[in-house]
Structure 1
Amino acid sequence: MPETAMLVVVDPYSSGSAFARRAKELYGIDSLAVLTSETLPPSLLATYPREDFTAEVRFSDVAETAAAIERLCGGRRPEFLICGSEPGVEAYDALAAHWGMRPNSGPSEPRRDKFLMQARLRDAGVPYIPHHKGSDTESIVAWCAGSGLAEYVVKPVKSFATDGVFFCSTLDEVRAACDRLFGRVDLAGELITELLVQERLVGPEFVVDSVSLDGTPFVVNMFRYTKETVGGTPVYRAMTAVEVGDHPEITAYVERALAALGIENGPAHSELVLTERGPVLIETGARMHGGLGPTLVERSSSHSLIDLTLASRVAPEEFLAGTRVAPSLRQGVVECFLFSPADGVVAENRVKETCGELGSYLFDTCAQSPGDRVDKTTDLITSYGRVVLANADPQALVRDVHRVLELDRRGLLLGITPA
């Protein structure tokens, strides 16, 4: 590896913020940031560790951005390239193809656009969700009326972090969801002009994290989601690690889905429902699990999602060595998502002192002080914090999860004065 080797991280936000520091620790290489948007949520922008990067470039078009990066690399292309978070998927794909750096295959759009994603599954013969895309409310309502489906999901075609996702049981609810979404700006700062409507699947929901090298995927870990529906929108409440080996049918399905979407290199984050007819994909992100997901894997699994993702781009031989053994859980781990029923101001923060008494308590992310503002929880971004629990005793872990969520429902963790 050259002494001056450079890793380019496209949108190093959320969990992708760890790549630069870890690359320095493991391989002694520096990193350069490519930023694709200035209109992301402030909470997401705040995760960018500017101090870990030697320089940054604002993405414009592929040729201009590549030239700017090459100037910073002494007139040559960088040695390594990785996608840090969901908004950067298309820019990352374009740069990887431009430099021929183990790019994914086929068009990039179906790896972000959920309508095109389902169409690619359908065309590849992979089980998919019946779906429709519309640019006006009435065409979407008309499709629903003729679909014969019992329930629907309405969301922006490039939704992430559950932004703008609505569960609907009636045509009036579909119409109301469309009216709320059309003309709004999404989390990536783009005006919503098209919506996806699809069947609402029934069954347990899983998330599967994988890393691929030259078309061969390795499933690193699985989690099972627990969600609640609040005001017609899904809100995460818990994410529980499960053994990969317990669900070979999910692994096999994810491998087919990744092939259909052309995700041949690097990480993928796939969410699916285990229906009566088998696994069906909700969506896949061609990037690593966001938020605390990789940290939970570090705490519970035999394998590191962060290190394998880096190795797939920086040290393929290490990736191959690390994936010869199947992953397994060392202990159970659960991420509890905390919920604010309304906008308000923090009166008292009792999260650490209350949850810290539980035998499974590992850490929390709730640093709010009295006087801080809190948003009503409507998606992942507006959850006011997380409590992470870990325990080798499954029954003790379940008890502590129930306790955290019950305390949160009763407003005993964060005292909030409604705005």
Structure 2
Amino acid sequence: MERIAIVGSRTDMARHAKELGLEVVLVHSPGSRPDRVRQYVDLMIECPVADAEAVLDVLAPLHRERPFRRVLAPGEDAVLTAAVVSEKLGIPGNSVETVVAIKNKVLTRQAMDRVGISPVLHRTVASEAELLAFLAEVNGKIILKPIDSTGSLSTLPIEDAEQARRAWGLYVADGHTEGLVEEFLEGPEVTLESFSVAGKHHPVGIDEYLKHPDQVVEIGDLFPGRVSEENRNEMVRLTSALLDAVGLLEGPSHTEFILTDKGPRVLETHCRIGGGAINELVKRAYGVDLSRLQVSVPLGLETFTPHALDSGKGAAMIFFMPKPGRVTRISGLDALETLGVPVHRMPVEKAWTGLVGLDPIRHAEVGVNLCLEVGEIAHPVRNNWELLMGFVIANGEDADRAAARAEEVMAAITIETEPIETEPVDGIPA
């Protein structure tokens, strides 16, 4: 029996590996929730997944006994570790150089500059003075973000010098000493999900982020994204050029864009499946399971068949984001269940370890997962890692119908809160 190592304890990849007849060695961080994965795993090892040398130390002896075919990571926290371990042990996969160039937003911008696909003003800054100088150069709205981070953590839009000073103070307080600052791009935010085989990049689908106009964090996702054919073709072209520039060979990728009035502009890319709902929405819209393909295709167990981007149906997910405060009343759930909409209840989890709570409603046309109870605290949502209060998911004949069904269900649920003392919700202290 062939075996693989999975670094990170999300469930789908391990389940698919077991279905494919593989032996699975799982490396999971202390404090993670490997109980969800246990039934699919032959050996579990506790080790910090972001510590490449520590993971190498525990996997190398096993590899010498019987080689791993692949070392794979389902999430952002371990993609670099998987690349380092693979390279050290001589296992095929994406190179360390490629993964570093993708994870480091400055290196990604430099790769785009080399091939002429990044007409976005940007700069690395290491002080308040440098941030202010860039603001003056752009003479417009800018955005400050960490060089290596995800989920909109410490990502701060800035419009004037006063905001810049406050933002830099918050940014430093979050533990950062250097950042990437870019001109702020106006327009809808969308992503292109792709799958690479032997260095050829195949578009899978476009995700549209549903957002409030004044928020960085999305309130939901819609598949396929409502994008013109011209913009869609340009997104495919830019993504392929970027992934070639960084040398991606295999597996899923998630490339983020802003659709400006001058055309699509790349924000960043990732050598993994998009976070949160995206893999589930791809499955619902196109019948394609990227998590399974990430295991099966590199091992030659299955082939990837490209499809037309306009060939899918619709799928949508909207996250619960009630007014911050203590929950005093939740209503509407009983009526939904009477109408046949399944409702799953589960506690809020402090760490985002994949799309928790989905399994009980995975096969429902429309379903609800709610993680709040009366008396609990609905916290401000300042980044994607805090989207922990649940969601509504829905299928549709097309994207508009899927979104409408999800919005109808969301509107039927009322979560009332009372104010408590909280941190500022905009991320920039007054």
1:387 matched to which residue of 2?
A: 392
Partner of 1:176: 166
Question: In structure 1, how many angstroms separate the alpha carbons of the residues matched to 2:376 and 2:157?
Answer: 31
CA contact (8 A) 2:316 2:406 kept: yes
Corresponding residue of 2:379: 375
Does structure 1 residue 11 correspond to structure 2 residue 27? no
Please say if residues 218 and 323 of structure 1, whose CA atoms lie closer than 8 Å, have aligned partners that are also in contact: no
Q: 1:188 is matched with which residue?
A: none
How far 1:215 moved relative to its partner?
A: 0.8
- Cα distance, 1:91–1:181 mapped onto 2, change above 3 Å: same
Corresponding residue number in structure 1 for 2:125: 134
Preserved contact between residue 226 and residue 236 of structure 1 (Cα < 8 Å): yes
Tell me how far apart the structure 2 counterparts of residues 193 and 288 of structure 1 sit (CA, whole Å).
29
Q: Deviations over 1:325-372 (max 9, x none)?
A: 445544211111221331434643645744985999612221333333
In the alignment, structure 1 residue 23 sits paired with structure 2 residue 17: yes
Deviations 1:135-191 (A, max 9, x none): 22222112221233x21111221221111212222122222221111131xxxxxx3
User: Which string of whole-angstrom CA distances, capped at 9 and with x for unpartnered residues, describes residues 236-264 of structure 1?
Assistant: 12311127994222111111111122222
* CA drift at 1:122: 0.8
Residue-by-residue CA offset, 1:188-235 (whole Å, 9 max, x unaligned): xxx3222221011122221111111221011111111121255xx512
Q: What's the TM-score once normalised by structure 1's chain length? A: 0.83
Q: Map of 1:258-407 to 2, 5 A cutoff?
A: 258-315=243-300, 318-319=302-303, 322-326=304-308, 329-345=311-327, 347-348=329-330, 350-351=332-333, 353-354=335-336, 357=339, 362-383=366-387, 384-392=389-397, 396-404=401-409
Q: Secondary structure at the match of 1:298?
A: helix
Counterparts of 1:396 and 1:336, CA distance in 2:
14
What is residue 415 of structure 2 aligned with on the other side? 414
Change (3 A) 1:70 1:240: same
Are the structure 2 counterparts of residues 352 and 123 from structure 1 closer, same or farther at C-alpha, using a change threshold of 3 Å?
A: farther
Cα deviation, residue 294, structure 1: 0.8
Equivalent position to 2:44, from 55, 60, 79: 55
**Matching residue's letter, 2:21:** G
Give the number of aligned pairs: 390
RMSD: 2.9
Matches within 5 A, 1:91-110: 91-105=81-95, 106-110=97-101
Unaligned runs of 5+ in 1: 185-190
How far 1:101 moved relative to its partner? 2.9
Q: Percent identity at matched positions? A: 20
Q: Quick one: which of 184, 187, 193 aligns to 1:200? A: 184
CA distance in 1, matches of 2:147, 2:337: 38
In structure 2, stretches of 5+ residues that fail to align are 342-363, 421-430
Distance 1:163 1:67, change over 3 A: closer
**Superposed counterparts of 1:48-127, under 5 Å:** 49-51=36-38, 52-53=40-41, 54-58=43-47, 59=49, 62=52, 65-73=55-63, 75-105=65-95, 106-127=97-118
CA contact (8 A) 2:394 2:403 kept: no
